[in-house]
Amino acid sequence: MVIVRFLSCALSCLFVLPGIGAAQTAAVAAPADNHQALAIFPAPQQVEPHSGKLDLTAGIAMVQPTGDAGAGEVARMLRQWAPDHFLFASKAPQAAARLQFRRVPGMAPESYRLDISPGGARITASDDAGLRYGGVSFWQLVTASPGRVIPAQSISDGPAFRWRGAMLDSARHFQSPQYIRSFIDWMAANKLNRFHWHLVDDQGWRIEIRAFPKLTEVGAGRRPATAPGAPPLPEYRGFYSQAELRDIVAYAADRGIEVIPEIDVPGHALSAIRAYPEWGTGVAIPPGTEAHWGVFPWLYNSDETTLAALETILGEVIAIFPARYVHIGGDEAVKDQWQASPAAQARIRQLGLKDETALQGWFMGRLARYLEARGRTAIGWDEILEGDAPQSVTIMSWRGVGGAIEAAKKGHDAILSPAPQLYLNHVQALNRGDPPGRGEVISLASVLAFEPHPAELSAAEREHILGVQANIWTEHIRIEERASFLAYPRLSALAQVGWTGHGSKDYTGFLRRLMPQLDRLHALGLQPSASAWTPAIAVEPAATGGGAKITLSVQGGLPMQYSLSGAPPLPYSAPFTVPGSAEVKAWATLDGGRLGSGATRRIMPGALQRRDSRALKTCHAKVDLALEDDFPASGPRATFLIDILDPCWIYQGAMLDGVTRIDMAVGQIPFNFQVGKDRDTIKFRRPKTPAGEFEVRLDDCDGPVIATLPLAPAARNPGVTRLTAPIVPTKGRHDLCLTYTAAGPDPLWAIDEVNLLPQEQK
């Protein structure tokens, strides 16, 4: 079995950028005020400067046409986002400027025109969405004006794609209704318009279904997995009542965002089958399985009673969610249980189908037609193309862009949502202190560069590409702050691609526009990641003369500066040497301004070869994950970078002259992964002691053992344990292979930190 999707700190950002230049991310005739020129996000289609300025010292009064409910909702949103600037006309002082909303027929969907003159401002559009996006652009200009003065200008703008989405997985880890509202605000501020809400999966059922109350009574709770012998963790539980869901749907609608629910079938069904075993194939579920991650083999059966139950569930879902689209999953449905089920085989024969893949196609088609009969359109992950999905079904392409290409050629509408490019559960950088996630880095620059127009499609076929969507799977995103950290600023880059209709390699130009936008989002409660512009500080012994060699790196090739022990800053151009002890501070720059709070590292002569797991390299990178320790129940936990199918690390380029000992901090974590037959491929050397031992091998993983660290002390400690052992004296620079011996993969042993010591440390 190939496993793909499932293995899917301090959050400070300073965004004051003195001296921002006028470079743009699109061809824009910019106003003279550079800060204002960069205020509108995503980059607008056209900006025309005029003479004069609009003075907002007394605020701006919003004047809406009588009876225009859409304009009223825009006015209320702006008032909530910036109450010091936006005033309702009935309460505004006489001196306040006026913002008018105007409707005209014939403008493109979601497009607007924003005219600003010394006498006031006017937003013109044909639909509610256009008025709303014009309002968002005006809010961006207003909040980017430190002196409450905006240059006169006219902006004509609209999106390239009608689907600009973000998916949040609330099934694996639950987020509060208040957080969901904040998430929707951040989407609206970026002019995103589709919130795909993943509410159901193997690990949790999060939507109240009144016809089947056990779905939340049983399926909404689980006991998190722990390593053997570790203290149990408290039950994890949460779901949304129908009243809460309706409230969130209405809140999103007021901000122009359609909420797309996902009810996954026929796989990802464990939480439902736990609650109603008769919906499964009769295969027993071992206790605690719901606390695993991975691709589960439990499927719904295809009996009429089960399909009727699913139709009842979908009936309640569409009563809550008025959106045109309902996502019905269709991905990662392992057919083993259907193959072994006499009832499933009889069903295949009864229906005259070829095999289990065809049975899934029939199953999905049945539910898609149920939705179609009620005025809704089903969306499915791209696997459903294998079962001849009905023509009405929209395809969400996650296994690369190939599914969208195939779908468009067959006449289906399609949405680009490929892994790994747009999977934001991947880490943004390998910085110590960043939250857990999938171990392959997906950078801000790579999301920005995503090209949404597959070259394999003709112009007519490209009309079937509705747009783009980024996904946030939460297997390893336990708390809401981490979801925010992993979503932004990469979701802003996705918004730029969806709005402009193209990827961009103008990374610095994008950052110039992004920074004031993040300021605004911060005011709306967002704490985004600064990993994209936080330098990594690598330390190693200098080749000659003693001291430490310092190498700085940052994503996107941004210029960097550094300071040593409080000295004046210097530009960074190449690695440099620090004699003795020092404190290195480093930061990226943009147009001479400092980006973020930067990074700091203290250099100590006895700790020049200390590396955490994220600075190591996994040996084969089969399934790299940054996993959180399962201990303690509350408070900070360690995060380890580990390949769960091959726990093996390479310490590259170790300088072994004078090294006498190795110090390792290690932790144990449960092997709670449904990986099917891949588990049989995980091999370990036979342990020499009951608990096993870490081995350090020279040059490669078949090289001589130069240090052994017994795991017995760590086996008695559920948290991180520090192990120390002598190392065989060796000269020169070498790679070190770090592995451990074990009888099996549970628990997994993971490295937190490695330190090569020149002498025994007291």
Q: For 693-702, how does the pLDDT look when each residue is reduced to its tens digit (9 = 90+)? A: 999 999 999 9
Residue 717 has pLDDT above 90, yes or no: yes
CB-based burial, 27-53: b 16+ in 10 Å, e otherwise: ebebbebbbbbbbbbbbbbebebeeeb
Q: H-helix or E-strand containing 553?
A: strand 548-553
What gap in Å lies between CA 446 and CA 399, rounded to an integer? 17
**DSSP tag of 74:** H
The top-level CATH class assigned to 46-157 is alpha beta
User: Tens digits of per-residue pLDDT, 647-690?
Assistant: 999 999 999 999 999 999 999 999 999 999 999 999 999 999 99
Residue keyed to tokens 């994209």: 532
What gap in Å lies between CA 295 and CA 281, rounded to an integer? 17
Q: What are residue 380's DSSP bridge partners?
A: 395
CB burial class (10 A; 0-12, 13-18, 19+) of residue 372? middle
What gap in Å lies between CA 55 and CA 118, rounded to an integer? 7
At residue 363 the predicted structure's pLDDT band, cuts being 50, 70 and 90, is very high
CB burial class (10 A; 0-12, 13-18, 19+) of residue 562? buried
What gap in Å lies between CA 762 and CA 743, rounded to an integer? 34
**DSSP tag of 235:** P
Among 3.40.50.720, 3.20.20.80, 3.30.70.260, 3.30.465.10, name the CATH number for the domain at 163-523. 3.20.20.80
Q: Check residue 255 and give its pLDDT.
A: 97
534-607 belongs to CATH 1.20.120: no
In 387-546, the DSSP E strands lie at 394-397, 414-416, 437-438, 465-472, 536-541
Q: What are residue 53's DSSP bridge partners?
A: 151
Q: Check residue 34 and give its pLDDT.
A: 56
Helix (H/G/I), strand (E/B), else coil: 253: helix
The top-level CATH class assigned to 610-757 is mainly beta
The single-letter code of the amino acid at 182 is S
The domain limits of the chain are 46-157, 163-523, 534-607, 610-757
Q: H-helix or E-strand containing 169?
A: strand 163-169
Q: What's the maximum distance between 2 C-alpha atoms anywhere in the chain?
A: 85
712 to 152, 410, 673, 691: CA distances (angstroms):
72, 59, 25, 5
Of 540, 6, 591, nearest in space to 296 by CA: 6
Residue 184 has pLDDT above 90, yes or no: yes
User: Tens digits of per-residue pLDDT, 295-306?
Assistant: 999 999 999 999
Q: Check residue 574 and give its pLDDT.
A: 97
Cβ-Cβ contacts under 8 Å for 276 (sequence gap 6 or more): 212, 214, 215, 309
Which residues are tagged catalytic?
Answer: 201, 268, 332
Helices 69-81 & 128-143 angle (0-180, nearest 10): 20
Q: Check residue 213 and give its pLDDT.
A: 98
Q: Are strands 560-564 and 570-571 parallel, antiparallel or unpaired?
A: antiparallel
Q: Check residue 546 and give its pLDDT.
A: 82
User: Tens digits of per-residue pLDDT, 561-577?
Assistant: 999 999 999 999 999 99
Q: Are 630 and 226 in contact (CB under 8 A)?
A: yes
The single-letter code of the amino acid at 726 is P
Residue 22 has pLDDT above 70, yes or no: no
The single-letter code of the amino acid at 734 is H
Helix (H/G/I), strand (E/B), else coil: 714: helix
Residue keyed to tokens 């120390």: 724
Cβ-Cβ contacts under 8 Å for 122 (sequence gap 6 or more): 99, 100, 101, 102, 114, 115
Q: What are phi and psi of 403, to 5 degrees?
A: -65, -40
Q: Are strands 639-643 and 624-628 parallel, antiparallel or unpaired?
A: antiparallel
Q: Which residue has the higher pLDDT, 548 or 27?
A: 548
Query: Looking at the chain, how many residues does it have?
Result: 762
In 22-76, the DSSP E strands lie at 46-55, 60-63
